[in-house]
Amino acid sequence: MKNPPRYVPRNVRWFNRLLRATYGVWLRRFFRVRVLNAQAAALRPPFILVSNHVTLLDPFILSSLLREPVYWITSDGNMRTHLMRVLLRLVGSIPKAKAIPDIETVNWTVHVIRREHGVVGVFPEGQQTWDGRTLPLIPSTAKLLKLLKVPVLAAVIRGGYLSLPRWSWARRRGRIEVEFRLLFVPEELKSRSVEELQTELERALAHDEFAWQEDARVPYQALRKAEHLELSLFMCPRCEAIGSLRSARSHMHCSSCGLAVAVDIHGRFKGLRGEAAPFANLRDWDLWQLGALKNLVRRRLEEDEGPGTRKPLFSDAGALLLRGRRMNPLRRVRSGTLILYVDRIELAPLLGERIVFPLAQVEGIGVLKRNLLEYYVGRDLYQVRFPFRHNSARKWMEAVEIISKLRAR
């Protein structure tokens, strides 16, 4: 079989100008984008742009606000089809395997900065936020900044999560604020330690969408404010059932115990059927569910240390398993019921033997886009596609990461 040609990131200026003058203008008008401290963004390349990551549209919004084309470091999962590879090449995307060290990504970045004298865009969280709070930053980001020794421009996006949260396909019209700040100059990168740079980077990009909304009180208009919310909130606070929540338009309910809530124009929860909402907002619900999931995993780990049969944490029927490598197209393996135990993931097909993935061999587990589960076993990438949009891939990622952390103690 002939290998596909080696990918080389390039940035076509005319295409970037066209995109900025068309799609970029529409984005700024539809989402009512406000720019704060715009003069800080008037840097001459080369420089690094770092930002919090709140929505799929972040690269397009930020690129529309800068004069120079931006080479964005992006997940290689977005580049597995020929069409997407062509489009992302036109905007100079630099592919990165999620949660896996990638020296080629670093080499491409160094090339863009030192040879092309361009602008590289980085989301140090490595993925979009699920609850509107900035995620822990990838520790190697500060090392990369110190290696490159060029100015670092920071952008903090506020209102983006409420405009198009990660779990939703429905845009909301409200307001987005983008505040720029010159974070580091080359002299600082040379003189300060990696730990100091990382601490300052975390402080600069820290954002809590719902805390900001308490003061901003911006209304976000949409007909489907809660639809697909169960992709993020996968656990019911009343009965603690996993995967029982269902949403439609602006409402969400539990099919197990009947709990029902609505989402208002400010992103807050309102109780239905004469009951109070269990939490004021998604962030508080999410903090509870991650704690409850951790407690459940801990109990199962303790049960498995004694006599008895291992019990699954949860499962999803009708899952399709695919396999591939990096940016190459994925190939179908098998479909069946995906089951999570505290020591393994199993795919149980209708006919044939089960496929078993010991969790000790699973690396880089994450969610691509809204609901595609991905993980590595050795050099092979596995992707799981679920049959329904209410099947949350996030619950698999969170559970596996909790198991890994608890077992490491």
| The pLDDT of residue 93 | 83
| Mean pLDDT to the nearest integer, 183-193 | 96
pLDDT interval class at 370 (50, 70, 90): very high
pLDDT at 83: 65
Q: Give the pLDDT mean for 204-210.
A: 98
Which pLDDT band holds residue 70 (cuts at 50, 70, 90)? very high
Q: Give the containing element (helix H, strand E) for 385.
A: strand 380-385
Task: Enumerate residues 6+ apart whose C-beta is below 8 A from 8.
Answer: none
Q: Is the pLDDT of residue 172 over 60?
A: yes
**284 and 258 in contact (C-beta within 8 Å)?**
no
Q: Determine the pLDDT at residue 159.
A: 98
pLDDT above 80 (res 255): yes
Ordered DSSP codes for 117-144 = --EEEE-TTSS--SSSBPPPPPTHHHHH
Domain ranges of the chain: 13-216, 223-309, 312-408
Instruction: Report the SS3 class of residue 283.
Output: helix
CB 340 within 8 A of CB 312: yes
What radius of gyration do the chain's Cα atoms show? Answer: 22
For the chain, give the percent of residues with pLDDT over 70.
93
pLDDT in tens, 293-323: 999 999 999 886 554 457 899 999 999 999 9
Read off the pLDDT of residues 316-362 as tens digits, 9 standing for 90 and up.
999 999 999 876 789 999 999 999 999 999 999 988 899 999 999 99
pLDDT digits (tens, 9 = 90+) for 258-304: 999 999 999 999 999 888 999 999 999 999 999 999 999 999 998 86
| Model-wide pTM > 0.85 | yes
Closest by CA position to 305, among listed 409, 401, 407, 395: 407
**Would you state the CATH architecture of domain 312-408?**
Roll (2.30)
| Structure confidence at residue 254 as a pLDDT band (50, 70, 90) | very high
Residue 103 three-state SS = helix
Give the pLDDT band (50/70/90) at residue 90: confident
Euclidean distance between CA atoms 260 and 245, whole angstroms: 9
Give me the mean pLDDT over the 90-113 stretch: 80
Q: How far apart are CA 73 and CA 96, in angstroms?
A: 6
Confidence of residue 2 (pLDDT cuts 50, 70, 90): very low
**CATH dotted code for 13-216:** 3.40.1130.10
Question: Average of pLDDT values for 57-72?
Answer: 94
Retrieve residue 109's tokens: 């970045």
Q: What integer is the mean pLDDT of 186-190?
A: 96
**Dist. CA 142–CA 109, nearest whole Å:** 14
